[in-house]
Amino acid sequence: MNAAVPSYVNWNLLEHAYGAAPLRAAFQQQPADFRVAELLGFEPDGPGEHLLPRVAQSGLTTFAAPAILGRHFTVVRRDTA
């Protein structure tokens, strides 16, 4: 969205250069609307034990989830993502 236009503007009431929009769309807004399956593309490598947990998160940002896991397992942040 354009930063110059306040978020409370009702876009449906604005004038259109070529008439009304031919389509309508609704953006996904609920956590249940988003599903992500990450494929690593590599195999665990190097010395030591490797833990690759499957995590289901809801209501957390992409950055918050690894930070919480890192604190729980006492792992530095760069090793959790």
Token pair of 15, please? 């004038």
User: How do residues 32-62 score in pLDDT, each as one tens digit?
Assistant: 777 888 888 888 888 888 878 788 888 888 8
Token pair of 37, please? 């399956």
Token pair of 17, please? 């250069």
Instruction: Quickly tell me which residue has 């004038």 as its tokens.
Output: 15
User: How do residues 29-39 score in pLDDT, each as one tens digit?
Assistant: 777 777 888 88
